[in-house]
């Protein structure tokens, strides 16, 4: 059973959401202020977070941004009340996955929720093959080619690239990369991630100084982008 966390302070909306999602078969938890919601999202694992923007104690933008900085990759569906907020959700890289404007119909919301959860499940499955630009990777055989010529990647570089591709389009923090690629048992400096990313860029990017696939995201981390449109 998939677990959903709703962070919403308007009781009427919260209760409506809870009812509809339970009928749909989801296990629902809720928080009525930003700080409580942030803590719950950090301490427990959910399959999706539904997040309002205007919240007491900590607003939705902050909750979303800080969750991403902590390395939490749970999909986040934002509820916005104003069109100005939509601009902000889309304009800022706060790391949300989708948004719905209030007032919304239960059917519309359920459809978005189902779609997001389905999409996440697909990307969580192990990636065996990947093609982007003129690069082809076979993760099962540990083979990589660029323009048909073999490029040699280390085992760690394969794992790192696989992790980035799995989170395509999402910002992943250095900490989250360290935890997932190096594992908790090893102590490495976050800067180590940058060094390995730099090496990986030299091998797969046309111009490592102007990367098109592995993008740096300000002070947070990295984002993989396969689609060059
Ligand atoms: Ca609100």
Q: Domain ranges in the chain?
A: 3-120, 126-224
User: How do residues 61-109 score in pLDDT, each as one tens digit?
Assistant: 999 999 988 888 888 999 988 766 766 666 556 778 888 888 899 889 9
Q: Where are the beta strands (DSSP E) in the chain?
A: 3-7, 27-31, 48-52, 76-80, 98-101, 129-132, 135-138, 143-146, 149-150, 171-173, 214-217, 221-224
Range 113-126 average pLDDT: 77
- What is the Å distance from ligand 1's center to 45 Cα? 23
- What is the Å distance from ligand 1's center to 102 Cα? 10
β-pairing, 76-80 vs 149-150, is unpaired
Report the C-alpha gap between 4 and 131 in whole angstroms: 33
Report the C-alpha gap between 191 and 193 in whole angstroms: 5
Partner residues linked to 99 by β-bridges: 78
Counting residues of the chain whose pLDDT is more than 90, the rounded percentage is 53
Q: From 82, 110, 116, select the one nearest 97 (Cα to Cα).
A: 116
- The residues whose Cβ lies within 5 A of ligand 1, an ion, are 9, 52, 54
- What is the Å distance from ligand 1's center to 10 Cα? 6
What pLDDT score does 94 carry? 75
Looking at CATH, the fold of the domain delimited by 3-120 is given as Rossmann fold (3.40.50)
- What is the Å distance from ligand 1's center to 8 Cα? 6
Report the C-alpha gap between 77 and 8 in whole angstroms: 12
Q: What is the mean pLDDT of the chain?
A: 88
- What is the Å distance from ligand 1's center to 71 Cα? 25
pTM for this predicted structure? 0.58
Domain 126-224 belongs in CATH node 1.10.10.10 = yes
- What is the Å distance from ligand 1's center to 55 Cα? 5
């Amino acid at each position: 059973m998939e677990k959903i966390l709703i962070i919403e302070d308007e009781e009427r909306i919260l209760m409506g959401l809870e009812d509809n999602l339970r009928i749909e078969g989801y296990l629902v938890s809720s928080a009525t202020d930003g700080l409580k919601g942030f803590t719950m999202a950090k301490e427990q694992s959910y399959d999706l977070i539904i997040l309002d923007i205007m919240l007491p104690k900590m607003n939705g933008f902050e909750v979303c941004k800080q969750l991403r900085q902590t390395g939490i990759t749970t999909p986040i569906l934002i509820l916005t009340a104003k069109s100005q907020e939509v601009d902000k959700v889309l304009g800022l890289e706060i790391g949300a996955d989708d948004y719905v404007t209030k007032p919304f119909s239960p059917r519309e919301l359920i459809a978005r929720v189902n779609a997001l959860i389905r999409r996440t499940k697909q990307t969580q499955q192990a990636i065996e093959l990947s093609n982007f630009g003129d690069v082809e990777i076979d993760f099962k055989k540990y083979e990589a080619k660029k323009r048909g010529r073999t490029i040699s990647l280390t085992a760690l570089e394969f794992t790192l690239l696989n992790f980035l591709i799995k989170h395509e389009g999402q910002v992943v923090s250095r900490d989250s990369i360290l935890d997932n690629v190096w594992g908790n048992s090893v102590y490495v400096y976050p800067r180590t991630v940058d060094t390995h990313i730099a090496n990986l860029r030299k091998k797969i990017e046309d111009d490592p100084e102007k990367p098109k696939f592995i993008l740096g995201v300000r002070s947070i981390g990295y984002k993989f982008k396969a689609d060059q449109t």
